[in-house]
Structure 1
């Protein structure tokens, strides 16, 4: 009797520990798809991969597309469905761009893992999972590998294809050498469409009991800012939730009267989403564009100084100015072309690490000469 009670108590503690672990897990990991069916908006890739699970004959694969579209989640979900939790640790090797992946790593770590023979699965694993007789090596962000490392990998893929399958994941397929790409089945992951991404965000919001402003389309704003990157969208939503919850604890005290007033919080608005994401309010960008059109140099300098002092991102200003001018019907095609050329040049300079303040002054003064 005593042992039964202890067993229940131990199980209860285990559940509490698991719940605490989930509470402290980033939402991106907490809501990462566990099965291929849960992967959103990549119907073609999912259908083909589900067929390969049925036959358990997987080719070498190359997943490419924008960040946050489910490439890594898909191969991890596929691996778990193939091997289950017990065999997964011994059958799957995942290397990310944060790991050193020069030619020495390919010749040593990857080659040593690829040549290992696979262990026999237990009868219990065989009942629940396909457990094919090969391992999987996942090379995330493979486009950051040097050409020499990719060339060395090509030979390893050929030699050990009997016991190992490779999955290369990258953002830019053009950075993968042709001999390597030709050995893989290619799967293109496109940016998520709004319907699928919105359903996933609604699911996360329901699970986390998030209070959204009923008068505003908050989730649509999150999707607009994330631009098809679901990982970024979920991260913004989590950050906004933490901010709104922290506001509940703030108490505003009037020093003159001594009266205290609790600040209402807990509800997420479009304004809080924009603040978290670093998006500049539309009225500020509109004001800046009007000042640029007025060609008043002093006002332009004053407005840019104010943006810099407020800690605004130069890259974000450029992105929003682009939309502001390119979608402006009062400008003709020639003016828009000139403005685009100016913005692209400044964008290049910012990416190369030049001073934001100088470049913002530069872009505004140059555009003022065009409009």
Structure 2
């Protein structure tokens, strides 16, 4: 590896030239060479030590990359630059540690789920197919998920938005602190607790049976604090100058919030809502308690048991046979695609509704 250095030349007057102030630097391509070398050495150590897990090979390579980068930088560039390279190397390693499992999960889901996922799988239910027989599909579960998530959004999004607006624009004193405290508490509520609450109130006390509506109420409890917190943070990012300019023109405060504040923060608000939807779309415990699941199509969320994609995945995996495993992976892939489509649509709407700025 070559090292770029600049020799001091000085000036006729004895003063240091600008080139004297330049310290030695590693070439720009050195991190890539170190990464490739560390990976090769890590694989070699893994093979020599007979380590079965490829993750162990990767961890060895990551440790070598950080150590070698710091050592070379400290030797050539000095301690200060070495610390900077150490921090940069650690950040890159942590990034890869987060991305690699995610990429592996998506790859495994696509590989296994694509075996079964097709038009037939999306348009048929399990009404006449046993768990140990090939065939069937997720049509009934897809309808249930769409209806339950949609009803949960109808409950949680308006309440969450209005609560966040109150806390940011109007909230003062003990009431605002109390609301903030309970929102923080609700953020950490386990999904099973929300399901038990709705079960005890809606089904046991009031006497209603299992339904998609009962599941939607539990999902809305889980969704609401996420919407409140994300919306609150986005509204705080709106510059106060915009509010003051609108109020100075005589616009009422409610109209300023509606026409100035919310359109400015619509992108972040939409992202927060989508995060909340992504959380509740994969919940199984409340659905298992309140919706129960059914192999047939039930398009009425207010009456009788109803299926959903998370519950379908759980039930198919519990069947304990290969065709059930294949259907479970295909349903998981369909759920990921469903969330992805929702995010794309929501971002498109947010960009369309966002205020346009002229040049």
* TM tier relative to shorter chain: under 0.3
Query: If each structure's strand is expressed as a fraction of its own residues, which one has the higher value?
Result: 1
Larger Rg: 2
TM-score by length of 1: 0.23
Query: If each structure's helix is expressed as a fraction of its own residues, which one has the higher value?
Result: 2
TM-score by length of 2: 0.23
